Structure 1
């Protein structure tokens, strides 16, 4: 090859190397970030994710675009993030269903929650309420249990889809009480609540945030809440323990995850941004208004989240095994 032809090639290679180096050294983030919410828009996970990511985007100086990728109890969107590039530009808003109960529910689950993700931290959690339609005739948990024992197979359970929080928490509830209703899956909690209020189903295990819009309508019976103490929004509703169901311990916790392999420095940027968002009075107020409880400072960050996942995976294995449920992803 002639020398005059070699020189332009060398120069071009040098420019390409400089461009690649400049790209590698660019401060993170240098472009918009995608936050996958693996459920339909308008649900508790979606609402929480938008509130928190709005604050985090201001810290990053880049927009965080929320993308709803629903399906298979949240595992469709979670799988997408697990398989995405570990560059920090894609994360998922998971919860107890996608990153704990899914291990037992889906024998062919296409990811391992403890292996295929980089935990960022817990965002919030909310207790589960057992609610019944107004005219079912159950004005207390005791009277509901009597109805369940007599009519169990005829009762209809409205839930937000197979593998959803309302579904798996009611697996635990019905196992504790000792009856098997007919499950009626809906495309989201809002539709499940609408039909429950209309009397087209009998009861549900709902997130606190799902029922807050209906507190003043007198269309539902609030039978018990799975929380350590009574919640301020429903001071007259007993805890599960007060109602005689000490084994009914369930809550929906939400957390942010990056795919595995993301550099620690980028993971730490997200963890710090999440901490700052949860410390913001405006964010806290909006989350609490939505029925969410923020984790205390010592329960934030990757390590407490990984510990919580490990414990919950083992716990839900037993619950799902007892219920004899297996799903296809």
Structure 2
């Protein structure tokens, strides 16, 4: 990823935060009722995993339950729009991703919110790399060989993704553009069927999250050629980054961050940031994420505010290249 999470773990776990000013909650603040954390994806998925770990840890530090509310649909837009309309009193949070605050403004004609104007940044929580995997029968043992093979077979190799406009689709389009290859996108209805087709050898390759592809890679069902983070990951230390192979500077990880509605005050934002930071510094909670492939790096509100516009541009460019349109 670019900017503040360009290297895994590069974010400081503390530091002064230049917080946005608002009407609510100046000075010390504690919630007086349960908090709601809106999540734009179904229970059990990658986003839901980090939401529930963060909610558990923050609840212990805030003295109130933090209820995860899954409002799936439109790539996270439904949950984000609800969060944007909530009162800025600290009791409603959004677990945002590089969908709602990255690709979606370009992918959908009307997302129902402005990802910059309508939110108060609280903290980036974590990221997870995407992994370029191929079927083991493919005669390409590294990225350079894959690019050479694709150029020798223009329009005759395929890559799978969970859906049109999904992260795996957009990363694939970035890869094609940066390598000058013609690889055909094949969308499926979810990450599981997309990966199943690659494991079966009916589709040659995909970009899947580390959490989902790790076990098939370890079992020899898939061959990992590269990761999309700027640094290698401890779970696959022998697998190079795309940046160190054929695409210098390339990064395209999935990320997860907390936002409140616009106008949330300094005291509220600072308290929520501290709760998130302390929660994910807890060794047991942190391990529940790192064991599944997440890189935890809780940053300041100011860092998150500076980070989002660049992500909107990066993922938006991929959407424009792909010609994808949200449904």
Q: TM-score, normalised by structure 2?
A: 0.83
**Would you say 1:168 and 2:170 are equivalent positions?**
yes
Q: CA deviation at 1:102?
A: 2.0
Q: CA deviation at 1:28?
A: 4.3
Q: Larger Cα Rg: Structure 1 or Structure 2?
A: 1
Q: Distance in 1 between matches of 2:85 and 2:200?
A: 41
Q: Distance in 2 between matches of 1:150 and 1:76?
A: 43
**Are the equivalent residues in 1 in contact too, given 2:126–2:296 (CA < 8 A)?**
yes
Map residues 119-158 of structure 1 onto 2, 5 A cutoff. 119-158=121-160
Q: CA deviation at 1:187?
A: 4.1
User: Compared with structure 1, are the counterparts of its residues 215 and 326 closer, same or farther at alpha carbon in structure 2 (3 Å cutoff)?
Assistant: closer
Q: CA deviation at 1:60?
A: 2.0
Equivalent position SS for 2:153: helix
**Are the equivalent residues in 2 in contact too, given 1:278–1:284 (CA < 8 A)?**
yes
Aligned counterpart in structure 1 of residue 46 of structure 2, from 44, 47, 58? 44
Q: CA deviation at 1:247?
A: 4.7
Map residues 70-149 of structure 1 onto 2, 5 A cutoff. 70-149=72-151
Equivalent residue for 1:202?
204
Q: Distance in 2 between matches of 1:48 and 1:200?
A: 32
CA deviation vs aligned residue, 1:227-269 (integer Å, no higher than 9, x gap): 3332222122122133222153211221011121233332222
User: Compared with structure 1, are the counterparts of its residues 35 and 180 closer, same or farther at alpha carbon in structure 2 (3 Å cutoff)?
Assistant: farther
Q: Which has the higher helix share?
A: 1
Equivalent residue for 2:325?
327
Equivalent residue for 2:254?
252
User: Compared with structure 1, are the counterparts of its residues 39 and 154 closer, same or farther at alpha carbon in structure 2 (3 Å cutoff)?
Assistant: farther
Q: TM-score, normalised by structure 1?
A: 0.83
Q: Distance in 1 between matches of 2:286 and 2:243?
A: 28
Aligned length: 299
Where do 5+ consecutive residues of structure 1 fail to align? Answer: 1-26
Equivalent residue for 2:12?
none
Equivalent residue for 1:190?
192
Equivalent position SS for 1:283: helix
Q: CA deviation at 1:306?
A: 0.8
Q: CA deviation at 1:54?
A: 0.8
Equivalent position SS for 1:35: strand
Higher RCO structure, 1 or 2 (CA under 8 Å, sep 6+): 2
Aligned counterpart in structure 2 of residue 232 of structure 1, from 199, 209, 234? 234
Q: Distance in 1 between matches of 2:38 and 2:200?
A: 32
Equivalent residue for 2:287?
285
**Are the equivalent residues in 2 in contact too, given 1:226–1:239 (CA < 8 A)?**
yes
Q: Distance in 2 between matches of 1:87 and 1:195?
A: 46
Q: Distance in 2 between matches of 1:213 and 1:69?
A: 29
Equivalent position SS for 1:137: coil
**Would you say 1:271 and 2:281 are equivalent positions?**
no
Aligned counterpart in structure 2 of residue 54 of structure 1, from 53, 56, 61? 56
Where do 5+ consecutive residues of structure 2 fail to align? Answer: 1-28
User: Compared with structure 1, are the counterparts of its residues 310 and 278 closer, same or farther at alpha carbon in structure 2 (3 Å cutoff)?
Assistant: same
